Amino acid sequence: MIERIVDFSVKFRFLVITLTILLIGTGVYMTMHLPVDAVPDVTNIQVQINTDAPGMGAVEVEKLITFPIEASMMGLPDIDKIRSLSKTALSQVTVVFKDQVDIYFARRLVMERLQVAKAQIPKGIGTPVMGPISSGLGEIYQYTVEGDGHTLLELRTIQDWIVRYQLLTIPGVTEVNSFGGFTKQYQVIVDPDRLVAHDLSLKDIFTSLEENNANVGGAYIEHASEQYIVRGIGLISSTKDVENIILKARDGTPVHIKDVAKVLIGPEVRYGAVTKDGKGEVVTGIVMSLIGANSREVVNRVKKKIEEIKRSLPKGVTIKPFYDRSELINKCIKTVTNALIIGGGLVFIVLFGFLGNLRSAFIVAINIPLAALIAFVLMKVQGMSANLMSLGGLAIGIGMMADSSIVMVENIYRHLYEDSNRDKSIVKITLISAKEVARPIVFAILIIIVVFLPLFTLQGIEGKMFKPLAFTISFAMLGSLILSLTLAPALCSLMLKVKTQENENVILRLVKKPYLSLLKKALHHNRITVITAVALLAISFGIMSRLGSEFMPQLDEGAIAVQAIRLPSISLTNSIGTCEAIEKTIMKFPEVETVVSKTGRAEIATDPMGQEISDIYVILKPRREWNVKNKDELIEKMNEELNLIPGIAYGFSQPIELRVSELISGVRSDIAIKVFGEDMSILKEKAEEIKGVISVMDGVVEPKVEQVAGLPVLQIEIDRESISRYGINIYDVQYVIETAIGGKVATQVLEGQKRFDLIVRYPHESRNNINSVKNILINAPAGERVPLGQLASITIEEGPAQISREHSQRRVAVECNLLGRDIGGFVSEAKEKIERNVDLPSGYYIVWGGQFELQQRANKRLAIIVPLTILIIFLLLFSSFNSLRNSTLIIMNIPFAIIGGFPAMWIAGENLSVPASVGFIALFGIAVENGIIMIQYLNQLRQEGLGLHEAILKGAENRLRPVLMTALTTALGLIPILLSHGTGSEIQKPLATVVVGGLISSTFLTLIVLPTLYGWFEKKGV
């Protein structure tokens, strides 16, 4: 089959070239339409269920809303976990599904169960709604709506009803979340004294407002030859309409709303705010992209639409972006593109240097971009995006893509100068030479693809991060295999010529003589050679034991996210004031372009923060304008300055990293120690003990316990005996508490297409302290008006700030980040110290989360799959060589490849991580490929009748060039990644370091130790 493909390609070479041209056209088209993003979307398949419960405390929210929703979700197919958060006025339940579940199917399942949950939630408390169909990478564009002479209420109205609705028309945009400013609201501020004077109750006002705001239809009437549609117009359209609503008539004198209340336009009660650059509050919009949408295209559409919207805004109002995902995307793509271009150039130099022939070098080099185009076509068919990891697969595999063509072209090129081939035609020489290496090429490439099998088995965030890389490399290697068997022989038969002698190039001449001398010594002292290799392997493993470990290096997003945490009792107004002070401090740094702080939660609570927490986005200037060496130094200096502001704890992260970490694991730090149990006070106590243990450990920064207590609560506990004496029901008291103090929506006012709530509430002075609340009057059936203080115990107590649950159990998390220390080493030490110093009661236990959880899961899977993959490779080798001896020899090349990998990581200061593991996996494939090339040729020479020693020397000499070329092209192709400081290079550097270091040892051992072992095995008859 393989030989037929080669025959066809050489015989119909012009057809092959024509098909190649078609491939170029198709590839360019597919590339132009390939979705582009910064990194793969690693967010798990999840559905958020948010329930607004105005005025309700965390305990009530958990009992009445969160638990019924959690219970209704249990038993759904393919659920991974259920998390929840209950806090003042909000319940959020997150249902996480397994990765294979389609997001729309998951939402349909959740929607069906929500109907059951709604029936169990008491009427009027809140309505559960699903969050937007977005992900951790969904917040692609953020902006402020600003305008001199316009109030925050006016700007928020413009954002909600002009900007937001126009942006929602853009394909790929699933939601535009408004944050900051004040939401417009019609307010009926009732005077309690006037209410008593007119013998009215809050219910009377509420009912009148509901009954005096409607349009109706009266079908139609016929008049003469015409038909009139009947409309009854009664909708409220202004504050004057509200004021003139009648409540009752006394002795023919009407009592209107305006007689007992003030009607005004004011702000809705809010749970969050946004400030900017230390200059005060602003209104912002957060554009969220649909899952699976092309982020760069969506951002470009948003920017284009915003320019159109600007023209329709009121005079003086403008839109200013402060976060644009396309900037990160472009930086990541630029990093990989530069690596591809520079790497490709270095590969071509190597090819020309070793072959000494421009045409041969061109034939090999042309296969690299063509293999990349095949990969792009298959990526488009697979529905993949071009991102840091998928394109990184091409950058990492740029040298490997040339390997098969190198072996093919080098063998054809070498045969052109052999004496026995001088009388043969170029076509015949090409066929003989191509068929000679076609089979080992196929097996070598097949094995490289099999080597990446472990990456396809990874799950969760690590799977979503590295599967695109594995797919891309596999696609590219498959493309390179097809091209090496078809285009390469076809072009060789057209472009190369039979020569009388080969002018050996300088590089090969300089290398060959010392190599053969060293090989002869190694063959003569074979025991010393093998023992030395084993000793080097042992030293390498010794170095490995000194390396740290982590899940994944941090991707530098080019921005900083600072999390400011205050006491739970702080007011929103005070939080806003401290944010302005923080922003002024940060703006002093010349590296900072702008600072935007988000305190509390937005209209759609995708990030359910309390008023005590602020996420501060620090947008940085280009690096050339910095006065510090790196971002770590900048963060250190910022932290020093910010710590001068009292009463605030800080955490430093990055916008995407912060959001993704929270969505995936429910925490915002590298390490999360989750304490599970029932009693919140015990959970908090044990969490504080754990914090005390880890706080004194080396490398721990920003240790904190999830704030679950310390929220002041004005608690009104109704005395049932007292209300029974007056014939008052619980509902009557609760109704007044809800309406008079909190404010209750009676109806809506329509202004064109705009809709605004109309609420009823007491004035501020009648509800702003405990004594005012005690004096609120409750109507009794007999006509008495009883002060609330006589019907209930009213006290100020400390209540829970929030209640977190996971797997239907309460939990409190202890979080921390690490600086200058690996995660694996920290966790091992911390586990030992916590077990020794913290005594957990029965029924309470600890679960480790954050990046450590992901690292452990990846390591466990790789520990099973990598040995299984090596076994598969061995079976493939055995099926190819039909020799246990040869298969074992080639497999022995794998551990020898490790010799250079660990020392290279140690020198570079890298930790063991998932990218490093991927590097070793790639290295195994290259080592096996080189082993196949060497052993296959040695066997061929033996079959031709050469003696063992002569076959080893001649085979090693003839295979020196292709082995060196494959190693150097792969290594030099990775040099740009090793030297790069661009965005995204942090993730690829460990991988490149392992491969380059391992190639040095692998190549040397393939050329020296493998022939030595071959001779030893053959002599001993192993």
Summarised one tens digit per residue, pLDDT across range 977-1006 is 777 776 667 777 888 888 888 888 888 888
For residues 369 and 397, the answer to whether their CB atoms sit within 8 Å is no
% of the chain at pLDDT higher than 70: 97
Average pLDDT over residues 681-694: 91
Angle at 522 between CA 901 and CA 878, to 5 degrees: 65
Rounded CA-CA distance 982/395 in Å is: 14
DSSP state of 162: I
Instruction: Tell whether the model's pLDDT for residue 263 goes beyond 80.
Output: yes
pTM over 0.75: yes
Rounded CA-CA distance 643/649 in Å is: 8
- Residues sharing a CB contact under 8 Å with residue 860, sequence separation 6 or more, in sequence order: none
- Extract the tokens encoding 733: 């008291």
- Residues sharing a CB contact under 8 Å with residue 486, sequence separation 6 or more, in sequence order: 5, 8, 9, 16
Q: How far is CA 558 from CA 607, 656, 824, 891, 915, in A?
A: 22, 11, 27, 43, 21
Rounded CA-CA distance 544/536 in Å is: 12
Average pLDDT over residues 506-525: 81
Place of tokens 């605004």: 756
Question: Tens of pLDDT along 766-824?
Answer: 888 899 999 999 999 988 899 999 999 999 888 888 899 988 899 998 988 777 777 77
Place of tokens 């025959």: 7
Instruction: Tell whether the model's pLDDT for residue 398 goes beyond 80.
Output: no
CA 172 to chain centre: 18
Q: Is the dihedral of CA 899, 901, 902, 907 positive or negative?
A: positive
% of the chain at pLDDT higher than 90: 31
Instruction: Tell whether the model's pLDDT for residue 186 goes beyond 90.
Output: yes
Report the half-sphere exposure of 944 (CA within 13 A, side-chain side). 12
Question: Tens of pLDDT along 949-976?
Answer: 888 888 888 878 778 877 887 787 777 7
CATH 1.20.1640.10, applies to 1-33+356-500: yes
**CA-closest candidate to residue 403, choices 447, 444, 362, 346:** 444
Locate the domains of the chain by residue range. Answer: 1-33+356-500, 44-134, 185-268+712-800, 504-546+883-1021, 559-653
- CATH numeric code, 44-134: 3.30.70.1430
- Residues sharing a CB contact under 8 Å with residue 124, sequence separation 6 or more, in sequence order: none
Average pLDDT over residues 648-666: 76
Q: Kindly give the residue spans of alpha helices, DSSP state H, lying in 356-425.
A: 358-382, 388-396, 400-415
pLDDT-based confidence at 501, cuts 50/70/90?
A: low
- CATH numeric code, 504-546+883-1021: 1.20.1640.10
Dihedral angle of Cα 346, 630, 620, 556, to the nearest 10 degrees: 60
What does the pLDDT read at residue 542?
86
Lowest mean pLDDT among 83-97, 511-525, 717-731: 511-525
Query: What class is the 185-268+712-800 domain?
Result: alpha beta
Lowest mean pLDDT among 59-73, 377-391, 392-406: 392-406
Place of tokens 């740009």: 976
- Residues sharing a CB contact under 8 Å with residue 883, sequence separation 6 or more, in sequence order: none
pLDDT-based confidence at 419, cuts 50/70/90?
A: very low
For residues 813 and 849, the answer to whether their CB atoms sit within 8 Å is yes
Instruction: Tell whether the model's pLDDT for residue 582 goes beyond 90.
Output: yes
Element (H, E) at 786: strand 785-787
Q: How far is CA 99 from CA 356, 453, 459, in A?
A: 51, 18, 8
Query: What class is the 559-653 domain?
Result: alpha beta
| Residue burial 157-194, b: 16+ Cβ < 10 Å; e: rest | bbbbbbbbeebeebebbbbbbbbbbbbbbbbbbbbbee
For residues 903 and 377, the answer to whether their CB atoms sit within 8 Å is no
pLDDT-based confidence at 676, cuts 50/70/90?
A: very high
Question: Tens of pLDDT along 278-316?
Answer: 999 999 999 999 988 888 889 999 999 999 999 989 988
What does the pLDDT read at residue 499?
60
For residues 671 and 818, the answer to whether their CB atoms sit within 8 Å is yes
| Same fold? 44-134, 504-546+883-1021 | no
**CA-closest candidate to residue 390, choices 929, 987, 997:** 987
Q: Where are the beta strands (DSSP E) in 406-545?
A: none
Average pLDDT over residues 334-355: 76
Rounded CA-CA distance 201/186 in Å is: 20
Instruction: Tell whether the model's pLDDT for residue 752 goes beyond 90.
Output: no
Mean pLDDT of the chain: 85
Backbone angles phi, psi at 267, to 5 degrees: -90, 145
- Extract the tokens encoding 501: 């002698």
For residues 767 and 684, the answer to whether their CB atoms sit within 8 Å is no
Average pLDDT over residues 52-57: 84
What does the pLDDT read at residue 500?
47
* Long-range CB contacts (within 8 A, 24+) of 422-428: 422/498, 422/500, 424/498, 425/498, 426/492, 426/493, 426/496, 426/497, 426/498, 427/10, 427/493
Lowest mean pLDDT among 45-54, 613-622, 702-711: 702-711
DSSP 20-79: HHHHHHHHHHHHHTS-B-SS-----EEEEEEEE-TT--HHHHIIIIIHHHHHHHTT-TTE
